[in-house]
Amino acid sequence: MSRRLCYLLFCAYFIVGCASYQPPKAPFANPPVEDQEVRIGREFRREARKKLKLVHHPEVERYVNQVGQRLVSAVGPQPFDYRFFVVENSQLNAFAVPGGSIYIHTGLIERIASTDELAGVLGHEIVHVKGHHAVRMSGGPDPISLLSLLGVFLGGAGPQAALTLGQALAVTRQLSYTRQLEQEADTLGVKYMAGAGYDPQAALSFLKTVDQDRVLNPIEIPPYLMTHPLTPERIAGVESAIRSFALKQPKSESVDPMKKIQTLLRLERHESDAVVAEYEKALGRNPQSAEALQLLGVAHHYNGRWARAVDYLERARSLNPRGPGIDRDLGRAYTQSGEFRLAGAAFERAFAAEPNEPLNYLFAGELYEKESKLPEAVGAYLRAHNLAPLWPAPARHLGIAYGKMNRLGDAYYYLGRSHLLADEDELAITTLERALKSVEPTSSRSQVIREELETIKARKR
Ligand SMILES: [Zn+2]
């Protein structure tokens, strides 16, 4: 393959990797109806789960979803559910898929200086989804099929296998149009950020950081810059949007969990020795650093050293009881070390501090299960499930806990729901059919299961 073709394919890969991956061809005047976008999103998620390395640590999953949902609520009612995923990939990138699925690379999360900066990126991507930008970009002379785009996005045999030259050209031709949409995403993005209580200036500071990287390392241009070309106009556009909306810096957030999340991502990559060395050094410089103490506690927990984890976390809590999720961390560490009474007390404090945080109930449920308090465990998981209805983890835990209680109908029902939330339709059908056999045929649960089965089967047709 010629170098030029390679370059074009490479380019197309990044452009498509932008927020805007494209649905099947649809005449511009007649965009696909909403449920087509939802369907594309679901198909994409299913493939993405197979082909991308997603981070499933509960704290990380909740972090991006919590920031994302806060932005979505500032946008107003939406025709589809938004979901946010973290991809283990060192390249600085983020992209959105029609129908509300937004993917952030770990390489981007590790480059942000604050959660507000993440909100800037997510706000921008939400506008691409909300504005149906992928659909608005379609209708070019050489439309790209959904399948080839799935291939491009997800790698697979590599972009070369997925795109023909003509298709690559078609994508590159759409670049100028993309810039227009990028501007719209920037402008509305900062508006939603401010509406959700994030500092809109962070959108600017993130762009400037990325720009600095580009100057320092012109060889390795991050995908985010290929898809979001940084121009003086773009930065000026964000500045003027902040001015014109008279957006103000909100009162500072009490605690920013960003550093903890970045540390968890390193631990997920098995860099715990480096993390421990780094924060012990930091602690040496400043023995009163509650942050270093908490992150050391988190790292030791990760390595199964519960007593050490408890020791560091207690010291962190005595210095800063408002450390991000510190009582939850303590609750988990005490659960593992078998000190259930102390674990329970830590979770009670966590509930009082953050009553709407599903992670608190998910982890408390694990404590109650260990204590063989199954009804309490079910209660905690139900609470987590209600607070985060699109998150598969609480539904899965509910299924297991009900199973231990020998309530098979409920067990299969929630396991089926967890498969459904993870886009595993076939498994969801078999599990829900088992649930149906185990519940009273005249019960309302039976009715709900039948309706859910109907919906899943209908969309397969
Ligand atoms: Zn964009």
pLDDT (tens, 9 = 90+) of the chain, 461 residues, equals: 333 333 333 333 333 334 333 333 333 344 444 477 788 788 888 888 888 899 999 999 999 999 999 999 999 888 889 999 999 998 888 888 888 899 999 999 999 999 999 999 999 999 988 887 776 665 433 334 444 455 545 544 343 334 444 444 344 444 444 677 888 899 999 999 999 999 999 999 998 888 887 777 766 666 676 666 677 778 888 998 888 876 666 665 568 999 999 999 999 999 999 999 999 999 999 999 999 999 999 999 999 999 999 999 999 999 999 999 999 999 999 999 999 999 999 999 999 999 999 999 999 999 999 999 999 999 999 999 999 999 999 999 999 999 999 999 999 999 999 999 999 999 999 999 999 999 999 999 999 999 999 999 888 76
- For the beta carbon of residue 455, count every other beta carbon within 10 angstroms: 10
Amino acid 251: pLDDT: 63
Q: How many angstroms does the Cα of residue 192 sit away from the middle of ligand 1?
A: 15
Instruction: Tell me if 393 sits within 8 A of 362, measured CB to CB.
Output: yes
φ and ψ of 85, to 5 deg: -125, 150
Residue whose structure tokens are 């979901």? 83
Instruction: Tell me if 107 sits within 8 A of 89, measured CB to CB.
Output: yes
Q: How many angstroms does the Cα of residue 258 sit away from the middle of ligand 1?
A: 23
- Cα–Cα distances (Å) from 5 to 140, 225, 228, 437, in that order, read 20, 21, 22, 57
Q: How many angstroms does the Cα of residue 197 sit away from the middle of ligand 1?
A: 21
pLDDT tens-place string over residues 210-227 = 888 777 776 666 667 666
380, burial (CB in 10 Å: exposed 0-12, middle 13-18, buried 19+)? buried
| 140 CB-near residues (< 8 Å, 6+ apart) | 170, 173, 174
Amino acid 223: pLDDT: 65
- For the beta carbon of residue 146, count every other beta carbon within 10 angstroms: 18
What would the two tokens of residue 269 be? 């990559």
Alpha-carbon distance of 254 to 379, in angstroms, equals 29
3-state secondary structure of 15: helix
Q: How many angstroms does the Cα of residue 239 sit away from the middle of ligand 1?
A: 17
Amino acid 274: pLDDT: 96
Amino acid 273: pLDDT: 95
Burial profile 425-441: b = 16 or more Cβ within 10 angstroms, e = fewer: eeebbebbebbbebbee
Strand partners, 297: none
Up-side HSE of residue 169: CA atoms within 13 Å toward CB? 7
What residue type is 243 in one-letter code?
R
3-state secondary structure of 104: strand
Amino acid 41: pLDDT: 82
| 282 CB-near residues (< 8 Å, 6+ apart) | 289, 291, 292
Q: How many angstroms does the Cα of residue 180 sit away from the middle of ligand 1?
A: 10
256: which DSSP letter?
Answer: -
* DSSP symbols for 375-393: HHHHHHHHHHHHHSTT-HH
Q: How many angstroms does the Cα of residue 366 sit away from the middle of ligand 1?
A: 40
Q: How many angstroms does the Cα of residue 118 sit away from the middle of ligand 1?
A: 14
Q: How many angstroms does the Cα of residue 61 sit away from the middle of ligand 1?
A: 22
Amino acid 28: pLDDT: 38
Q: How many angstroms does the Cα of residue 228 sit away from the middle of ligand 1?
A: 5
Q: How many angstroms does the Cα of residue 358 sit away from the middle of ligand 1?
A: 30
Q: How many angstroms does the Cα of residue 186 sit away from the middle of ligand 1?
A: 8
Amino acid 308: pLDDT: 97
Q: How many angstroms does the Cα of residue 421 sit away from the middle of ligand 1?
A: 27
Using CA atoms in the order 41, 195, 59, 287, what is the torsion angle rounded to 10 degrees?
150
366: which DSSP letter?
Answer: H
Helix axes 358-370, 58-75, angle to 10 degrees: 150
φ and ψ of 53, to 5 deg: -90, 100
Alpha-carbon distance of 106 to 368, in angstroms, equals 32
Q: How many angstroms does the Cα of residue 49 sit away from the middle of ligand 1?
A: 22
